[in-house]
Amino acid sequence: TELPLLFQPLTIKNVTFKNRIWMSPMCQYSSDRGKATDWHLVHLGGFASRGVGAIVVEATAVVPEGRISPEDLGIWSDSHIEPLQRIVNFAHSQGTVIGIQLAHAGRKASIYAPWVCANAADTRMSSAHVAQKEGGGWPDNVYGPSDIPFSDTSPKPIAMTEEDIKYVEDAFIAAVERCKKAGFDFVEVHGAHGYLIHEFLSPISNKRTDSYGGNLTNRMRFPLRVIKGVRKTWADKPLFVRISATDWAEGPELGEDEEWKQWGIEQSKIFLGELKSLGVDLVDTSTGGNLVQQKPPLKHGYQVPFAEALKKAHPDLLIGAVGLLTEPIETESYLKDGKSDVVLLGRELLRNPHWPLTAARALSVAVKPAVQYERCWTDMLAPL
Ligand code: FNR
């Protein structure tokens, strides 16, 4: 019988992923001035030894002011390389492919880590969730396409000048050079969730009147500049882009905008056409994050229809699906039905780090965990 698609290897450029169950990038708010810590080694290392086909290291800021929180990972200096390299080396020792998500948080920068926000008694919290200077934040140095805050309590961003645009573009390229030194197998550009690149794409956050705002071609200009620079520098290795395929903003709250003024699936299809011609290998399909009032219909696989629509529009681009994927058989069906080429799991993997092995059992596949764990799993797989 044919191996279930979840467990079929996939080769992109010079990299072979042992299966199509990938770990979605997830901020840990556990870095030390942008540097990965022991937490990252243990956390990510644990997944590397438990059968995922790839690990995507959390959003990693290309400049300090591009972090979401003061505790975010960064890669803006050479001193960030070594602790990342240690994690990469461990992943490789387990036969696990590992990449990193390069990010700039744009107008959503300088907020506290969730557990700091949750602690109302924390004296650093002088206004809602904005990370203040005394808490390591930089509320006066937050950037975006326009000076429109994300929410009533968010910092007011500084509208980026042409110089700022060039500075961020150069920072992405310098970050890619450091990714090479750290030994990463692939890079993912974070173009989703209301962070800087998505902010340029979306008319909700981009009200510029220069060549970076207005119609879709202009709004795509900065994102494509960054991705083109990254592609050129990361020439022979897999390059992915995560996008939000919709703002979930259709509806009365935005008025009767013309089609080109929105950011939704039709605009995403056009964007993917551009990504394809730049040589991007895979698009990781998320949604939302740029509009406080968004109301996504949260249910299992709720973002899969977006992956499917993008796959239909661009059959020769690899597509990833993510979002509330928890059930092995259902998740396998998304691949079987051609809705995506790989799946990324976030919270379900945190709940059950052995999910690849759980899925293997559910789909009657014999897989080998780390030798240290082998006996307990092979015994359970006895009939195979
Ligand atoms: C996330 N998510 C996320 N996404 C991303 O592109 N970069 C990131 O750094 C993070 N950070 C992050 C932290 C935590 C704690 C969570 C729970 C989520 C989103 C994540 O990658 C994924 O897309 C969503 O969580 C939906 O998938 P699941 O969790 O339903 O499988």
In this structure, are residues 248 and 288 in contact, taking their beta carbons and an 8 Å threshold? yes
Express each pLDDT in 350-378 by its tens digit.
999 999 999 999 999 988 778 888 777 66
pLDDT level of residue 49 (50, 70, 90 thresholds): very high
Residue nearest to atom 16 of ligand 1 (CA): 26
Average pLDDT, the chain: 92
Residue nearest to atom 15 of ligand 1 (CA): 26
Separation of alpha carbons 106 and 289, rounded Å: 12
**Closest ligand 1 atom number to CA of residue 347:** 29
Read off the tokens for 352.
């059950």
Helix, strand, coil share of the chain (percent; to 5): 40, 15, 45
DSSP 211: T
Say how many Å lie between the CA of residue 322 and the centre of ligand 1. 9
Burial class for 3, CB neighbours closer than 10 Å (0-12, 13-18, 19+): exposed
In a 3-state reduction of DSSP, which class is residue 80?
helix
Separation of alpha carbons 265 and 174, rounded Å: 31
Rg of the chain's alpha carbons, rounded to an integer?
20
Phi/psi region, residue 3 (left: phi>0; alpha: psi -120 to 50; beta: rest), is beta
Q: If you average pLDDT over residues 320-340, what whole number do you get?
A: 98
DSSP letters along 294-337, please? Answer: -----STTTTHHHHHHHHHH-TTSEEEEESS---HHHHHHHHHT
ipTM of the shown complex: 0.99
Say how many Å lie between the CA of residue 193 and the centre of ligand 1. 10
Q: Is the pLDDT of residue 253 over 50?
A: no
pLDDT value, residue 293: 85
DSSP 65: G
pLDDT value, residue 122: 55
Percent of all residues in the chain with a pLDDT value above 90, rounded to a whole number: 84
Read off the tokens for 110.
């300088």
pLDDT value, residue 126: 45
pLDDT value, residue 334: 98
Residue nearest to atom 25 of ligand 1 (CA): 346
User: Which one has a higher pLDDT value, 372 or 25?
Assistant: 25
Express each pLDDT in 114-123 by its tens digit.
887 665 555 5
Separation of alpha carbons 279 and 270, rounded Å: 15
**Closest ligand 1 atom number to CA of residue 59:** 9
Q: If you average pLDDT over residues 114-133, what whole number do you get?
A: 67
Q: Which of 291, 146, 143 is nearest to 210 (CA)?
A: 146
pLDDT value, residue 348: 98
Q: Active-site positions?
A: 195
DSSP 4: P
Q: Is the pLDDT of residue 269 over 80?
A: yes
Say how many Å lie between the CA of residue 1 and the centre of ligand 1. 34
Total-model pTM: 0.95
In this structure, are residues 197 and 190 in contact, taking their beta carbons and an 8 Å threshold? yes
**Closest ligand 1 atom number to CA of residue 193:** 6
DSSP bridge partners of 17: 10
Q: Is the pLDDT of residue 261 over 90?
A: no
Give residues (CB < 6 A) around ligand 1: 24-27, 58-59, 101, 190, 192-193, 242, 286, 322-325, 345-348
Spell 323-358 as b/e; 16+ CB within 10 A means b: bbbeebeebbebbeeebbbbbbbbebbeeebbbbbe
Q: If you average pLDDT over residues 71-95, what whole number do you get?
A: 98
Say how many Å lie between the CA of residue 83 and the centre of ligand 1. 22
Separation of alpha carbons 358 and 66, rounded Å: 37
Separation of alpha carbons 306 and 250, rounded Å: 15
Q: Is the pLDDT of residue 127 over 60?
A: no
Separation of alpha carbons 96 and 98, rounded Å: 6
Q: If you average pLDDT over residues 272-285, what whole number do you get?
A: 98
Q: Where are the beta strands (DSSP E) in the chain?
A: 10-12, 15-17, 21-23, 54-61, 73-74, 97-103, 143-144, 158-159, 186-191, 239-244, 282-286, 318-322, 342-345
Separation of alpha carbons 343 and 353, rounded Å: 15
pLDDT level of residue 267 (50, 70, 90 thresholds): very high
Separation of alpha carbons 321 and 21, rounded Å: 10
Q: Is the pLDDT of residue 381 over 60?
A: no
Express each pLDDT in 143-196 by its tens digit.
999 999 999 989 999 999 999 999 999 999 999 999 999 999 999 999 999 999
Q: Is the pLDDT of residue 40 over 70?
A: yes
